[in-house]
């Protein structure tokens, strides 16, 4: 883990020690038998939430200050934030968005103090304030979507469509983990992350990748868990 940035190493350590990242045999939606499983819903404890929120905040801040969220060919003025809202798709994305915004304010309140968060409702509310969204208005705003992982990419496509329909401008997607594996039944060795990047032309960033996990496993995992995870990577790793 020494090769990782400190906040990434701390995030990986928290995920392993706290239980969100576990090893064994897990059946994925794709039907594949995975030797590891990542569950962002397990970051419910205060110390674990701090680790994932800091990781999201740092990842977003680094990309923002490097101009990653700006369109190609745009003036690279990064003296002020290059995004306005962090959006979390319901349900797991909701705490991630709020935690990321809080972490950004802790990192640099002057720069990120006015950044908002928003999330969607599974069903539109027909009373009170109504609507399909909660949180910051999206009309005309530059939006970063955050979520745990990209599996098939369906939830991210729905989020992009909803945000655009509300007048928002999606500038990036940031996920906690890139599994780096090919889509089931894909004609090429393309990952879900790569397919979304190609489809929308957006930067898609991950705090950790499967390569990072394997590098970290060498310090604590059993030889069997490590061997099975490396074999899984060799079998399913995408080429994008």
- 66, 58 contact by CB (below 8 A): no
Residue 130 to residues 87, 133, 135, 136, Cα–Cα distance (Å) = 18, 8, 12, 14
Residue pLDDT tens, the chain, 240 long: 447 888 998 999 999 999 999 999 999 888 899 999 999 999 999 999 999 999 999 999 999 999 999 988 778 778 899 999 999 999 899 999 999 999 999 999 999 999 999 999 876 555 445 578 999 999 999 999 999 998 778 889 999 999 999 999 999 999 999 999 998 876 678 888 888 999 999 999 999 999 999 998 888 788 999 999 999 999 999 987
Q: Could you list the active site residues?
A: 125, 127
Q: Rounded to whole angstroms, how far apart are CA atoms 201 and 169?
A: 13
Closest among 142, 119, 6, 139 to 62, alpha carbons compared: 6
What kind and span of H or E run contains 232? helix 223-236
Close Cβ partners of 74 (under 8 Å, ≥ 6 residues apart)? none
Q: Where do the domains of the chain lie, and which CATH numbers do they carry? A: 6-236 (3.40.50.2020)
Sign of CA dihedral 128, 132, 135, 138: negative
What pTM value is reported for the model?
0.91
Q: Rounded to whole angstroms, how far apart are CA atoms 28 and 34?
A: 7
Q: Rounded to whole angstroms, how far apart are CA atoms 129 and 166?
A: 16
- 99, 53 contact by CB (below 8 A): yes
């Amino acid at each position: 883990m020494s090769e990782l940035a400190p906040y990434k190493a701390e995030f990986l350590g928290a995920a392993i020690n706290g239980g969100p990242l576990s090893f064994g045999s897990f059946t994925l939606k794709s039907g594949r038998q995975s030797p590891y499983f990542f569950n962002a819903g397990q970051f419910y404890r205060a110390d674990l939430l701090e680790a994932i929120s800091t990781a999201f905040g740092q990842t977003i801040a680094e990309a923002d200050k490097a101009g990653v969220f700006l369109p190609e060919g745009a003036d690279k003025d990064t003296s002020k934030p290059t995004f306005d809202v962090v959006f979390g798709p319901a349900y797991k994305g909701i705490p991630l968005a709020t935690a990321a915004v809080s972490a950004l304010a802790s990192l640099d309140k002057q720069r990120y103090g006015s950044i908002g968060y928003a999330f969607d409702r599974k069903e539109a509310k027909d009373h009170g304030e109504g609507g399909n969204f909660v949180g910051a208005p999206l009309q005309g705003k530059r939006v970063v979507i955050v979520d745990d992982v990209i599996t098939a990419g369906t939830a991210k496509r729905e989020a992009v469509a909803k945000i655009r329909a509300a007048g928002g401008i999606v500038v990036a997607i940031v996920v906690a983990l890139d599994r780096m594996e090919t889509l089931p039944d894909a004609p090429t060795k393309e990952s879900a992350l790569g397919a979304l990047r190609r489809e929308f032309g957006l930067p898609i960033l991950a705090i950790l990748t499967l390569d990072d996990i394997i590098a970290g496993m060498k310090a604590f995992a059993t030889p069997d868990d490590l061997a099975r995870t490396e074999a899984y990577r060799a079998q399913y790793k995408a080429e994008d």
